[in-house]
A = this chain, B = another copy of it.
Amino acid sequence: MPLTDREIDLIKSVVVCRKLRRRQYFLYEGEVSKYSAFIIKGAMRQYSVNDKGMEHTVGLFLETSWAGNRESFMTGAPSLYFVDAWEDTEALLISRTDYLNLWMSIPAIVEMSRKLTDEYSFALQKRLHSFITLSSEERYFNLEKTYPEFLQRFPQHIIATYLGISRETLSRIRSHTLKPMEHYGTFPNYVGGSHAA
């Protein structure tokens, strides 16, 4: 994107690179998000923990995307979610005030930021729609199509909570749809997964 040298310098002067170790927290529930993180390398997750200790994954983030809690970062409200590094990661951090300053001085930042927010909300919309209209199995296939990288980089039990299902159910969904190839021919009576025409 088009930035002048001086703008780039300005950005460099307020951004700081930070390394996070696997499992290291970036933001705690109840804490106010002081920084937003642009991931250079690694994988992060955003999740809530309920009274029974169950984790529910709200967001998964890989390199070249922003992790953190936008709502807390923008409004200053305490975060409802934890954010931590799933893999060892490197990220560029920027504070809210520095962010607002960039906003003032670099027009392209305003535009970029608007686009990001829009795309973020469109993605949310799609994910919400998948919850309203799709079955667990369909949601899984949908994820497989939309973000195949997630399935590579995060373990199944995290993917399960991202899909809003139990790990056992996810395991069964995967095995059902693999079986047809695996024991091809072993069961004479087996006719495949599609009973209901």
Contacts and interface: CB of A to CB of B under 8 A. Distances in A.
Contacts of A48: 129, 133
Interface string A69-80: 011001100001
A120 B129 CA distance: 15
Contacts of A131: 128, 131-132, 164
B74 A129 contact: no
A133 B70 contact: no
Please classify how large the interface on chain A is, using the bins under 10, 10 to 19, 20 to 34, 35 or more: 20 to 34
A67 B161 CA distance: 31
Of the listed residues A75, A110, A132, A133, the one surrounded by the most CB atoms of chain B closer than 10 A to its CB is A132
A18 interface: no
Interface in A120-140: 120-122, 124-125, 127-129, 131-133
Contact of A127 (B50, B128, B162): B128
Contacts of A58: 125, 128-129, 132
A114 interface: yes
A101 interface: no
A71 B110 CA distance: 19
Interface of A: 48, 50, 56-58, 70-71, 74-75, 80, 110, 114, 117-118, 120-122, 124-125, 127-129, 131-133, 161-162, 164
Given A57-B132, A121-B121, A132-B161, 5 more contacts: A56-B132, A58-B129, A71-B125, A121-B124, A131-B132
